[in-house]
């Protein structure tokens, strides 16, 4: 029997029983939907947790060894900035302030905000402006507000709007946009480094991070070594993002919860599809026996079952992925703060699990079909 003809027969056997075929698709579709949805939510959380690193765009970051995320910075002594600037391989190094404050709104309520203080001279890490001029940040009490999903929490201020920030009068001189919104649902304001450390409550040390630009990529290991001798860490942007990712994966409950939900969705899909597929094989044993009786070889029967399992798995994968993409698109359109995002890693993970479901389901069916005795079929 030709392979093409046997696969056509396998396809007709599969889709003719619409109830079983639908049950198979629902099981795999639901499993894929849950797996992609859970991992997409986690990917979105990790992406937003690195918003500061992504938005600033510095090549290297010097941090205190105790820092495990960009929000909880540990202030460093000011002499460290001069030490880093004098190191071999450093093209330039500038300070960055990162902290929080309370803005008093016109109606008397208070809103927590994230404050980013840029180097006064270079403004390294400045955001892209939507309205206004970045140079206006040098004027008195000047701040730039970020137009992100949290922007409305400040009353969607315009240029010229004034607030009180930690009992200091501030004025909005520009509206900017950034690549990623923050994770914790607070608006973001940019100002100069000197104004941030002068007007906002700080500890004895005021240096949150040092942004470093190496002369060449080959200088990065040398810079890391020199900074380590001073008792601090120098990380590339990718290293810092990975450090933050590891923190949320392994030192908080987020990673474990997502892993458990992903495993549950896999088990649900596997149990439904394997049981339904096995029932499908049992109900079609007479047909497989008849094919074996007329000369179909074992490898032909195996290829038919593998085709049925793979066809169902890939169809369910496509439906589950489409359903998840639609839900995320609708959710992000309705709720700008919704963080889920589908990544290539999520797709490969779900695809691998779907193939595993197909493999286990087909293995159960293959074992049963290969033990068929055609004479028992016709005798029955």
> Which distant-in-sequence residues (6+ apart) come within 8 Å of 179 by Cβ?
51, 54, 55
- Give pLDDT, residue 374: 62
pLDDT at 84: 94
- Rounded CA-CA distance 247/65 in Å is 13
Distance CA 372, CA 232 (A): 69
Got the DSSP string for 184-196? Answer: SS--EEEEEHHHH
Whole-number Å distance between alpha carbons of 58 and 237? 7
Distance CA 93, CA 84 (A): 7
What pLDDT score does 277 carry? 72
Walk along the chain (380 residues) and give the pLDDT tens digit of each residue: 455 677 787 788 777 778 778 877 887 888 888 888 888 888 888 888 888 888 888 999 999 999 888 878 888 998 999 999 999 999 999 999 988 888 888 888 888 888 999 999 999 999 999 999 999 999 989 999 999 888 888 988 999 999 988 778 899 999 999 888 777 778 999 999 999 888 776 667 878 999 999 999 999 999 999 999 999 999 999 999 989 888 888 877 777 787 787 778 777 767 777 777 777 777 777 777 777 777 777 788 788 888 888 888 888 889 989 999 999 889 888 877 777 888 888 888 888 888 887 888 778 777 777 776 666 555 55
pLDDT at res. 171: 92
- What 3-state class would DSSP assign to 86? coil
Per-residue confidence (pLDDT) for residue 51, from 0 to 100: 84
Phi, psi of 206 (to 5 degrees): -120, -5
C-alpha 282/C-alpha 148 separation (Å) is 56
Supply the pLDDT for residue 213.
93
CA atoms within 13 A on the CB side of 202: 23
Quote the CA–CA distance of 213 and 220 in Å, as a whole number: 9
């Amino acid at each position: 029997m030709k392979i093409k003809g046997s696969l056509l027969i396998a396809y007709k056997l599969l889709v003719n029983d619409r109830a079983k075929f639908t049950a198979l698709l629902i099981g795999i579709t639901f499993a894929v939907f849950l797996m992609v949805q859970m991992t997409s939510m986690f990917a979105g959380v990790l992406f937003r947790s690195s918003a500061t690193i992504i938005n600033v765009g510095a090549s290297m970051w010097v941090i205190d060894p105790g820092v495990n995320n960009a929000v909880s910075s540990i202030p460093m002594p000011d002499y460290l900035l001069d030490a880093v600037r004098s190191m071999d391989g450093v093209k330039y190094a500038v300070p960055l302030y990162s902290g929080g404050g309370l803005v008093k709104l016109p109606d008397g309520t208070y809103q927590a905000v994230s404050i980013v203080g840029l180097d006064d001279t270079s403004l390294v890490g400045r955001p892209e402006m939507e309205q206004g001029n970045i140079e206006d940040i040098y004027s008195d009490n000047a701040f730039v507000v970020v137009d992100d999903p949290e922007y409305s929490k400040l009353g969607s201020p315009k240029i010229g709007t004034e607030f009180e920030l930690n009992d200091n009068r501030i004025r909005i001189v520009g509206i900017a946009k950034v690549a990623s919104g923050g994770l914790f649902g607070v608006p973001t304001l940019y100002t100069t480094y000197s104004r941030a450390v002068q007007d906002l409550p700080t500890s004895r040390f005021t240096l949150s991070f040092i942004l470093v630009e190496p002369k060449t990529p080959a200088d990065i290991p040398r810079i890391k070594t020199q900074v380590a001798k001073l008792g601090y860490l120098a990380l590339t942007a990718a290293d810092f993002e990975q450090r933050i990712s590891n923190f949320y994966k392994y030192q908080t409950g987020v990673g474990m919860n997502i892993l458990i939900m992903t495993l549950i969705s896999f088990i649900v899909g596997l149990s439904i599809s394997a049981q339904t597929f096995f029932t499908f094989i049992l109900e079609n044993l007479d047909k497989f026996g008849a094919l074996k009786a007329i000369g179909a070889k074992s490898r032909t029967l195996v290829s038919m079952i593998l085709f049925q399992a793979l066809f169902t798995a890939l169809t369910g994968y496509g439906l589950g992925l489409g359903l998840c993409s639609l839900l995320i698109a609708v959710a992000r359109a309705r709720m700008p703060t919704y963080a889920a995002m589908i990544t290539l890693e999520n797709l490969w993970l779900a695809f691998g699990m779907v193939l595993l479901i197909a493999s286990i389901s087909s293995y159960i069916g293959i074992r049963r079909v290969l033990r068929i005795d055609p004479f028992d079929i016709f005798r029955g």
